[in-house]
């Protein structure tokens, strides 16, 4: 589904990702772990197509298509979803209305008819129930004045509604208390299927107790320094990130 | 250059004096008001017409306006359908129509609130000592030359009186219609006084519209808000695009009174609104939100002075201006905290969204504090759309065009949503925000 080959990318002229290769197949859950500043979030932003990040080398293909030539909105329509580490607040944009616009953008792209507010309401109600989100979130403005936990839940709500093929969740767990983490993880687990894939970017092993990864990659100084199965996360938890020595 | 400007101003002053003579000799003003007209005219001569160097008109070019010779409006006619199309749904039986500044009973319907308010012609109201005192006092202290001109031509004003403890349940709409002319230039000077007794409550919507263009509407509204009383109001300026709109809202607030105002401006040839508030007694609170959406060469300017005159008073102001094409906006806003007005809280935020390189937004936030135990903040931003917000929306599959339009609208929407009247909110979403689509 996703093939990353020797990816190099940076911000403002400085290289942050220094040659990452990664292969993600449908049905798989990959966890990318690493200390602060290792390039985890940059990888997420490059996958989503953030205009401030510059790709200086390598390739990314998604279902055989060169992703680097496609605008962020096209990537989204092709089924890539990024859960933001810091979801952006947009005062004046109603949450439910925004969710319907995003949902309809995908329908239209697939040649289907848009849903009117009433029909969409049924979908929204069901998804919000799944995430134990109170009704008030539909009336409120997009992330405006939401707490950290509320914002993260709202990201997963968007994921639930958009049903992406590949979801990249950038530190969705940070800032969540244990109850919220459980709700969010349950939600993500329900959305998992043999047809979609998940990349979890996290600093903490705790998330992986709730969402079981198939593969764990350790990122340090812009490179994957170790890949393994689920056990690697436990190893990291026990040893911390200090054992990671610079490889260049 | 300076000499020509001053010459032009002198000529315009002379023209205005002649116009005023016509007004007085035409037996227009009632006897009770004539001394006020004369006093205001004297004050006008003291203040003189502004030029660009005038401190109050730094951002507003009044040269064309001052140089234009206006005739007093002969009241034009308006159809009932026109009126109906401008009455908000919540005010179907609670609206007053002023045509070129004159209250039209036959076009108005305030049956829903008849028992709660009294509508008194100003010539009658001036017989009440406190109303007279207010008029005399404000004419003497007036610092805005256009408000002085309004008082000099005061003939048809109206007092809307809400007596103590009365709660006006349906919102009252005041509809100012300027009829304008197909040719020539006309001027009108609407004047409304709103008085709330102790613990009275009023909700109000003021809307300015024009039938035709070529007019200069120069309006003043005074709000006298008694102890513990509350007013919530919205003002919608939607005059003809080739009209001049000048207006002043003067608010005098008593102890523990609450005023919430939202102004929505469509702009036109030149709109200038002067908002002057005096938080006279302890515990008075004021919220003032403003939104303008300007295209082409439209202009809308705010001049705001908020006086905190007693302890424990609060004021909050927000301005959101969207300027596109070659439009211009400005906010000149000063908060004055008097000596002794301790525990005052005040904030002011001005945000401008520039959609074109040729648009112009001036900002002059200012604080004058003469007390030491206060919390006051102010700030101003000028910018384009937020890149992070744009990216966020695009990652959800919205196209660049849709995302930009959504963000632009949301900028204005955040003020529109603070309006307490659903009919007005919906109206502005369908009209003011429509200006952002192309």
Q: Note the pLDDT of residue A244.
A: 67
Residue B406 is assigned to a structural domain of this protein: yes
Q: What is the pLDDT along chain A (248 residues), one digit of tens a residue?
A: 999 999 999 998 899 999 999 999 999 999 999 888 899 999 999 999 999 999 999 999 999 999 999 999 999 999 999 999 999 999 889 999 999 999 999 999 999 999 999 999 999 999 999 888 888 888 899 999 998 889 999 999 999 999 999 999 999 998 888 988 998 999 999 999 999 999 999 988 889 999 999 999 999 999 999 898 888 888 877 777 777 655 44
Q: For residues B238 and A135, what is the distance between their CA atoms, to the nearest angstrom?
A: 37
With CA atoms as reference, report the closest residue to A202 among A194, A210, A192: A210
CB atoms within 10 A of CB B17: 14
Which residue, among B291, B394, B397, would best test binding to A if mutated, counting the most A CBs under 10 Å from its CB?
B397
**Chain A contact set for B389 (CB, 8 A):** 88, 90
A92: nearest CB among B395, B402, B411: B411
Query: From start to end of B143-185, where are the E strands?
Result: 158-162, 172-178
**Chain B contact set for A44 (CB, 8 A):** none
Query: What residue of A is the nearest CA neighbor of B410?
Result: A92
Domain of residue B429, residue span: 388-438
Copy the structure tokens of residue A179.
């109850």
Q: Residue A195: helix, strand or coil by DSSP?
A: coil
Closest Cα in chain B, distance from residue A188 (Å) = 18
Q: Note the pLDDT of residue A245.
A: 58
Residue B190 is assigned to a structural domain of this protein: no
Copy the structure tokens of residue B180.
């304008």
Residue B44 is assigned to a structural domain of this protein: no
Residue A212's contacts (CB-CB under 8 Å, 6 or more residues apart) are: A29, A230
**Do B417 and A48 lie within an 8 Å CB cutoff?**
no
Q: Note the pLDDT of residue A94.
A: 92
Q: Residue B177: helix, strand or coil by DSSP?
A: strand
CB neighbour class for A225 (10 Å; exposed up to 12, middle 13-18, buried from 19): middle
Residues 379-398 of B with CB under 8 A from A: 386-389, 391-398
CB neighbour class for A246 (10 Å; exposed up to 12, middle 13-18, buried from 19): exposed
A91: nearest CB among B387, B397, B410: B410
Count: domains in chain B: 1
CB neighbour class for A116 (10 Å; exposed up to 12, middle 13-18, buried from 19): exposed
Handedness of CA A201, A206, A209, A210 (dihedral sign): negative
**Chain A contact set for B411 (CB, 8 A):** 92
Between the CA of residue A161 and those of A86, A103, A123, A164, what are the distances in Å?
19, 7, 8, 9
Let me know: does B296 contact B326? Beta carbons within 8 Å.
yes
Query: From start to end of B239-295, where are the E strands?
Result: 244-253, 258-265, 270-279, 285-294
Q: Note the pLDDT of residue B50.
A: 82
**Do A73 and B413 lie within an 8 Å CB cutoff?**
no
- Give the start-to-end residue ranges of the domains of chain A: 2-93+147-239
- Only one residue has tokens 């200038």, namely B272
**Chain B contact set for A79 (CB, 8 A):** none
End-to-end CA distance of chain B: 41
Phi, psi of B410 (to 5 degrees): -65, -30
Between the CA of residue A137 and those of A13, A124, A150, B210, B276, what are the distances in Å?
40, 11, 9, 41, 38
Closest Cα in chain B, distance from residue A69 (Å) = 15
**Chain B contact set for A92 (CB, 8 A):** 409-414, 417
Residues 130-149 of A with CB under 8 A from B: 141
Q: What is the pLDDT along chain B (438 residues), one digit of tens a residue?
A: 445 656 777 888 888 899 899 888 875 678 899 999 999 999 999 998 887 678 888 888 888 888 888 888 777 789 999 999 999 999 999 999 999 999 999 999 999 999 999 999 999 999 999 999 999 999 999 999 999 999 999 999 999 999 999 999 899 999 999 998 887 789 999 999 999 999 999 999 999 999 988 899 999 999 999 999 999 999 999 999 999 999 999 999 999 999 999 999 999 999 999 999 999 999 999 999 999 999 999 999 999 999 999 999 999 999 999 999 999 999 999 999 999 999 999 999 999 999 999 999 999 999 999 999 999 999 999 999 999 999 999 999 999 999 999 999 999 999 999 999 999 999 999 999 999 986
**Chain A contact set for B412 (CB, 8 A):** 92
Query: What residue of B is the nearest CA neighbor of A107?
Result: B397
Closest Cα in chain B, distance from residue A234 (Å) = 33
Copy the structure tokens of residue A57.
């080398």
Q: For residues B150 and B132, what is the distance between their CA atoms, to the nearest angstrom?
A: 16
With CA atoms as reference, report the closest residue to A7 among A32, A27, A36: A32
Q: A231 — contact with chain B (CB < 8 Å)?
A: no
Question: What interface predicted TM-score (ipTM) does this complex get?
Answer: 0.94
Residue B151's contacts (CB-CB under 8 Å, 6 or more residues apart) are: B36, B37, B39, B40, B43, B135, B138, B139, B142, B191, B220
CA B386-B392-B397 angle, 5° bins: 125
With CA atoms as reference, report the closest residue to A31 among A222, A246, A197: A197
**Do A73 and B395 lie within an 8 Å CB cutoff?**
yes
With CA atoms as reference, report the closest residue to A152 among A126, A191, A186, A181: A181
B398: nearest CB among A88, A92, A101: A101
Q: For residues A40 and A49, what is the distance between their CA atoms, to the nearest angstrom?
A: 14
Q: Does A2-93+147-239 carry CATH code 3.40.50.300?
A: yes
Phi, psi of B88 (to 5 degrees): -75, 150
Copy the structure tokens of residue A190.
């329900």
CB neighbour class for A99 (10 Å; exposed up to 12, middle 13-18, buried from 19): buried
B397: nearest CB among A76, A92, A93: A76
B400: nearest CB among A52, A73, A87: A73
Q: For residues A8 and A118, what is the distance between their CA atoms, to the nearest angstrom?
A: 46
**Chain B contact set for A73 (CB, 8 A):** 394-395, 397-400, 403
Q: Residue B47: helix, strand or coil by DSSP?
A: helix
Residue B224 is assigned to a structural domain of this protein: no
Copy the structure tokens of residue B157.
């004003």
Q: B403 — contact with chain A (CB < 8 Å)?
A: yes
Query: What residue of B is the nearest CA neighbor of A72?
Result: B395
Answer left, alpha or beta for residue B396, where phi above 0 means left and psi between -120 and 50 means alpha. alpha
Let me know: does A161 contact A105? Beta carbons within 8 Å.
no
**Do B395 and A72 lie within an 8 Å CB cutoff?**
yes
**Do B403 and A102 lie within an 8 Å CB cutoff?**
no
**Do B403 and A51 lie within an 8 Å CB cutoff?**
no
> Cα B413 from chain centroid?
20
H-state helical runs in B26-128: 34-47, 63-67, 80-85, 122-125
**Do B413 and A158 lie within an 8 Å CB cutoff?**
no
**Chain B contact set for A91 (CB, 8 A):** 410, 414
**Do B396 and A105 lie within an 8 Å CB cutoff?**
yes
Answer left, alpha or beta for residue A96, where phi above 0 means left and psi between -120 and 50 means alpha. alpha
- Only one residue has tokens 């000499």, namely B3
DSSP H helix total and E strand total for chain B: 10, 21
Residues 42-101 of A with CB under 8 A from B: 48-52, 71-73, 75-77, 81-82, 84, 87-88, 90-93, 98, 101
Q: Note the pLDDT of residue B62.
A: 86
**Do B397 and A77 lie within an 8 Å CB cutoff?**
yes
Q: For residues B219 and B22, what is the distance between their CA atoms, to the nearest angstrom?
A: 20
CB atoms within 10 A of CB B216: 23
**Do B400 and A50 lie within an 8 Å CB cutoff?**
no
Which residue, among A76, A92, A139, would best test binding to B if mutated, counting the most B CBs under 10 Å from its CB?
A92
**Chain A contact set for B391 (CB, 8 A):** 48, 50-51, 72, 88
**Do A93 and B406 lie within an 8 Å CB cutoff?**
yes
Q: Note the pLDDT of residue B1.
A: 44
Residue B280 is assigned to a structural domain of this protein: no
């Amino acid at each position: 589904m996703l093939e990353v080959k020797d990816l190099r990318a940076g911000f403002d002229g400085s290289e942050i990702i220094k040659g990452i290769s990664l292969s993600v197949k449908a049905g798989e859950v990959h966890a990318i772990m690493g200390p602060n500043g290792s390039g985890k979030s940059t990888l997420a932003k490059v996958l989503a197509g953030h205009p401030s990040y510059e790709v200086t080398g390598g390739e990314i293909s998604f279902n055989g298509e060169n992703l680097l030539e496609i605008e962020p909105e096209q990537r989204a329509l092709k089924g890539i979803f990024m859960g933001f580490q810091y979801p952006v607040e947009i005062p004046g944009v109603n949450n439910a209305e925004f969710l319907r616009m995003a949902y309809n953008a995908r329908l239209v792209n697939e040649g289907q008819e848009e849903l009117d507010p009433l029909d969409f309401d049924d979908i929204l109600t069901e998804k919000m129930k799944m995430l134990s989100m109170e009704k008030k979130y539909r009336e409120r403005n997009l992330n405006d004045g939401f707490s950290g936990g509320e914002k993260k839940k709202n990201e997963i709500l968007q994921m639930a509604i958009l049903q992406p093929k590949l979801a990249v969740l950038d530190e969705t767990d940070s800032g969540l208390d244990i109850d919220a983490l459980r709700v969010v993880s349950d939600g993500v687990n329900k959305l998992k299927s043999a047809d979609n894939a998940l990349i979890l970017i996290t600093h903490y092993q705790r998330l992986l107790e709730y969402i079981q990864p198939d593969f764990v990659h350790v990122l340090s100084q812009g490179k994957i320094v170790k890949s393994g199965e689920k056990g690697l996360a436990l190893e990291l938890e026990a040893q911390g990130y200090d054992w990671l020595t610079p490889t260049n | 250059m300076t000499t020509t400007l001053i010459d032009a101003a002198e000529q315009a002053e002379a023209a205005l004096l002649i116009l005023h003579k016509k007004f007085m000799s035409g037996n227009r003003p009632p006897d009770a008001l004539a001394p006020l007209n004369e006093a205001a005219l004297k004050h006008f001569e003291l203040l003189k017409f502004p030029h660009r160097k005038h401190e109050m008109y730094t951002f507003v070019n009044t040269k064309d306006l001052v140089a234009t010779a206006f005739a007093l409006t002969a009241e034009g006619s308006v159809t009932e359908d026109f009126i109906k199309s401008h009455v908000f749904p919540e005010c179907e039986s609670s609206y007053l129509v002023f045509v070129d500044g004159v209250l039209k009973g036959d076009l108005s319907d305030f049956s829903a609130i008849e028992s709660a308010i009294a509508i008194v012609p100003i010539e009658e109201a001036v017989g009440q000592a406190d109303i007279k005192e207010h008029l005399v006092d404000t004419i003497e202290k007036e610092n805005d030359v256009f408000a002085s001109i309004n008082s000099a031509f005061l003939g048809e004003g109206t007092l809307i009186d809400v007596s103590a403890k009365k709660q006006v349940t349906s919102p009252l709409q005041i509809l100012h219609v300027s009829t304008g002319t197909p040719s020539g230039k006309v001027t009108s000077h609407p004047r409304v006084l709103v008085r709330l007794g102790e613990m009275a409550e009023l909700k109000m919507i003021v809307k300015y519209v024009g039938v035709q263009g070529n007019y200069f509407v120069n309006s003043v509204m005074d709000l006298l808000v008694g102890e513990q009383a509350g007013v919530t109001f919205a003002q919608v300026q939607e005059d003809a695009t080739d009209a001049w709109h000048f207006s002043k809202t003067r608010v005098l607030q008593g102890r523990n009174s609450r005023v919430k105002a939202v102004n929505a401006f469509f702009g036109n040839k030149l709109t200038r609104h002067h908002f002057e508030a005096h938080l006279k007694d302890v515990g008075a609170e004021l919220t003032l939100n403003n939104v303008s959406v300007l295209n082409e060469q439209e202009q809308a300017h705010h001049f705001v002075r908020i006086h905190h005159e007693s302890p424990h008073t609060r004021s909050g102001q927000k301005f959101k201006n969207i300027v596109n094409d070659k439009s211009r906006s400005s906010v000149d806003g000063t908060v004055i905290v008097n000596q002794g007005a301790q525990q005052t809280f005040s904030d002011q935020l001005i945000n401008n969204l520039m959609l074109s390189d040729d648009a112009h937004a001036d900002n002059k936030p200012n604080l004058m504090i003469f007390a030491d135990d206060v919390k006051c903040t102010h700030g101003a931003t000028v910018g384009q759309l937020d890149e992070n917000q744009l990216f966020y929306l695009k990652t959800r599959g919205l196209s660049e065009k849709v995302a930009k339009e959504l963000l632009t609208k949301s900028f204005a929407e955040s003020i529109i949503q603070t309006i307490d009247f659903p009919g007005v909110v919906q109206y502005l979403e369908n009209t003011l925000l429509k200006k952002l689509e192309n």
